[in-house]
Structure formats: structure tokens, C-alpha cells
């Protein structure tokens, strides 16, 4: 069975209309989740917690999309060589 991992992260943006973080060292890693439903719940909790700050944004990254299970080595694995 293929895992569908999702990363939830966020932080303060330079401009609320863009996706550039003000300080990448201050990005909040909420966690990695085994399915979209649990990632969405974590994202929603953080989004609600920070709703008063218009510059704060949280995102869900589909980690399973970074890896092509059909190829011998994914592009990220090639970087380690």
C-alpha cells in the first residue's frame, strides 16, 4: 500500500498576497500526516489559532507527489549521490 504523506507548515509572510516567508528560520512545522483528512484537521487548527494575524499562512504539502514510485530513483534521491 502506498503512503500518501502530507506536511503541514506555515509562518509569517512578507506580503499576505504572496507566498514568500518573512523569516524561513521561523517556519512552523506542524507535522507530517498519513492522509489528507488528518493533515487538513491540523492545518485548520493552526489557521484558526492564527486567524488574527493576516500575514500568517499555513499550507499542506503533498509529500507523496515528490516521489515517483515507478522510477528507480526519484529526483530527490539523486541529489544524495
Instruction: Give the start-to-end residue ranges of the domains of the chain.
Output: 1-7+27-59
State pTM to two decimals: 0.77
Summarised one tens digit per residue, pLDDT across range 29-62 is 999 999 999 999 999 999 999 999 999 999 999 9
Q: Which CA distances in Å does 73 have to 61, 64, 78? A: 21, 14, 7
Nearest by Cα to 20 from 59, 62, 50, 46: 59
Average pLDDT, whole number, for the chain?
86
Lookup: cell for 1? 500500500
Q: How confident is the model at residue 81 (pLDDT cuts 50, 70, 90)?
A: very low
Amino acid at each position: 500500500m502506498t503512503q500518501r504523506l502530507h506536511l503541514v507548515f506555515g509562518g509569517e509572510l512578507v506580503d499576505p498576497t504572496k507566498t514568500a516567508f518573512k523569516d524561513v528560520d521561523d517556519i512552523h512545522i506542524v507535522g507530517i500526516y498519513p492522509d489528507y483528512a488528518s493533515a487538513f484537521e491540523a492545518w485548520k487548527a493552526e489557521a484558526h489559532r492564527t486567524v488574527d494575524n493576516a500575514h500568517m499562512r499555513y499550507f499542506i504539502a503533498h509529500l507523496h507527489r515528490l516521489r515517483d514510485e515507478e522510477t528507480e530513483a526519484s529526483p530527490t534521491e539523486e541529489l544524495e549521490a
